[in-house]
Chains A and B, each alone.
Chain A
Amino acid sequence: MNTDDLIAGLARDPAPATGTGPEKRLLPVLLAGLAVTLALFFLVLGPRPDLMAALSDPLIAAKTLMPLLLGVLALILSLRAARPAAPFGLPGTLIWAVPAAAAALFVLAFMTTVPPARLPAFIGHSIPICLPAIPLLSLPMLAGLITALRRGAPVHPARCGALAGLAAAGLATAIYSTFCIEDSPLFYAVWYTAGIGIASALGAILGARWLNW
């Protein structure tokens, strides 16, 4: 087939339906993923009994709010990454505030914790739950995001997938943090970050595989 014929054929196709982009698909699949994540969470983990009291402490609220902010920003970025040449813009800068704040909280907690208490606070007691739980709770939302992003055209599929992983992990970590009673940044700034990192790496792998086009 020569190229001119192909062009003639393509031009005869109807215009793309409005609302076929990833944005339109995003909300339903994300909510479906979120529903599965929440169901898993309430079945297996459940919120801590003193949740309301705990959240009034800013240092504890931070472990829920920071990943939430991370998740929302990464969600926006993953959508931008799904459009060729779309700039990351302001959210691309703002998102760095989250790891910066986590690092600052870690340093602050390190200085305000008496030396003998540092290691126990860092090790905590729930690494074997925390580390797998965050990626696992991310998975339903990550799967939903990847299906939505397939409607886009990411020119760096792995990067787009990693951002989707980051978005899912941010939201999943915010949910997980309401179960977790490890309230020292010496614990959560490290181990939440590790869990989120695992989920993002998973997103990158899935992206490289499924966001190719």
Chain B
Amino acid sequence: MTERNAQWGDLLRRANRGEAAAYARFLTEVVPVIRNIARARSPHGADEVEDIVQEVLLALHAKRHTWRESDPVTPWLYAIVRYKTADAARKRRAGGGRQVPIDDLADVLPDDTAGEVTAAGDLTRLLGEIDDRSAGIVRAVGVEGQSAGEVGARLGMSEGAVRVAYHRALQRLRDKAGAVGTGQAKQPRPAKVDERLE
């Protein structure tokens, strides 16, 4: 435990000074721990666990500056993991089971079968409800299949920032679709959003 603390502390210290390799290793090593905690909290299967794991990773990423090098890293890490897993579980409960009613983005391209046209309309409407920049990123990455690097170059964002923005935008679309979907008589087929980065 203390050995792990020292090792992760060292990795995160180097990561916060700009060592990408140390950061990647830190994140890779903490993922199994996050996954275990997320699994204990979510009865709905592997997809949901992975969603939570990714939300926690994004939170760690956004808040990595709140760790002080003089503090032990594991309590800091676990506090964030607990907070975000509880948060994610709460959101899912609030969202009514959280089966995601957004169809595979590939299926909702307008030239697909007639049955999907409503879904395409739904997507267009949902994209209209989030900010233009995020909607643009979802269209470019999710629908048109551009890489995060291309989109980033066009928008003047780092590749990582595009991934984060894409992920966040999908999360918001799911939330919105969930909020609308519960009020509809005919629910769209629940399906996972195809996340097609690279």
Which of B58-66, B110-118, B126-134, B176-184 lies at the interface? B58-66
Q: A1-B197, A3-B50, A84-B66 are in contact. Are A12 and B159 (CB under 8 A)?
A: yes
A71-115 vs B, CB cutoff 8 Å, 1 = contact: the mask equals: 000000000001111100000000000000000000000000000
Check A86–B83 contact: CB distance below 8 A.
no
Chain B interface, >50% SS class: helix
Q: Please name the residue on chain A nearest to B158 by beta carbon.
A: A13
Pair count A-B, CB < 8 A: 113
Q: Does A126 contact B (CB under 8 A)?
A: no
Check A6–B167 contact: CB distance below 8 A.
yes
- Mind listing 12 A-B residue pairs with CB under 8 Å? A1-B54, A5-B163, A6-B163, A9-B197, A11-B15, A13-B161, A15-B15, A15-B18, A20-B65, A84-B67, A84-B75, A85-B76
Interface size class of B (residues with CB under 8 A): 35 or more
Interface centre among B31, B66, B167 (most CB of A within 10 A): B66
Q: Which of A169-213 contact B (CB under 8 A)?
A: 212-213
Q: Please name the residue on chain A nearest to B26 by beta carbon.
A: A11
Check B31–A12 contact: CB distance below 8 A.
no
Check B83–A84 contact: CB distance below 8 A.
yes
Assembled-state Cα–Cα distance A15/B75 (Å): 22
Please, which residues of chain A bring their CB within 8 A of the CB of B78? 85
Q: Does A16 contact B (CB under 8 A)?
A: yes
B125-167 vs A, CB cutoff 8 Å, 1 = contact: the mask equals: 0000000000000000000000010000000001111111011
Q: Does A131 contact B (CB under 8 A)?
A: no
CB proximity of B158 to chain A, nearest CB, Å: 6
Check B18–A14 contact: CB distance below 8 A.
yes
Check A10–B21 contact: CB distance below 8 A.
no
Check B195–A1 contact: CB distance below 8 A.
yes
Give B contacts to A, CB under 8 Å.
Answer: 15-21, 23-24, 27-28, 31, 50, 53-54, 57-59, 61-68, 71, 75-80, 82-83, 87, 148, 158-164, 166-167, 195-198
Check A10–B75 contact: CB distance below 8 A.
no
Assembled-state Cα–Cα distance A15/B71 (Å): 19
The tally of residues in A whose CB lies under 8 Å from a CB in B reads 30
Assembled-state Cα–Cα distance A85/B75 (Å): 6
Q: Please name the residue on chain A nearest to B16 by beta carbon.
A: A15
Check A84–B79 contact: CB distance below 8 A.
yes
Q: A1-B195, A84-B66 are in contact. Are A11 and B24 (CB under 8 A)?
A: yes
Please, which residues of chain A bring their CB within 8 A of the CB of B71? 83, 85-86
Check B68–A11 contact: CB distance below 8 A.
no
Check B68–A155 contact: CB distance below 8 A.
no
CB proximity of B66 to chain A, nearest CB, Å: 5
